[in-house]
Amino acid sequence: MATIKVDDREFDIDALSPEAKQQLEMLVACENKLRELQRDTAITQTARNAYANALKSLLPTPLEQTMADGDTLKLG
């Protein structure tokens, strides 16, 4: 006998009306989709951080930028 708990009350799933079973099915689908989206968000944030770090490692330092622009480097 499968049950669900809603607001601290347990219900036998087999005893639910067809409409209630349909709503339960949609609720379960929503919960599954939310977990999937949270997983995808974590994957995307991880990839975004990797791309940002890769970009930072490829950007010129301020000194390299100055020299690449053709400016004269003066010391002292």
Q: Which residues pair with 3 in a beta bridge?
A: 12
Hey, what are 72's tokens?
A: 């004269």
Asked whether the beta carbons of 24 and 11 are under 8 A apart, the reply is no
Asked whether the beta carbons of 24 and 16 are under 8 A apart, the reply is yes
Hey, what are 25's tokens?
A: 């099915």
- Tell me what pLDDT residue 23 has: 97
Interval 19-72: pLDDT, tens: 999 999 999 999 999 999 999 999 999 999 999 999 999 998 877 565 666 666
- pTM of the predicted model as reported, rounded to 2 decimal places: 0.67
Q: Give the model's confidence band at 73: pLDDT under 50 very low, under 70 low, under 90 confident, else very high.
A: low
- Tell me what pLDDT residue 64 has: 59
Q: Number of H helices and number of E strands within the chain?
A: 2, 2
Q: Where are the beta strands (DSSP E) in 1-76?
A: 3-6, 9-12
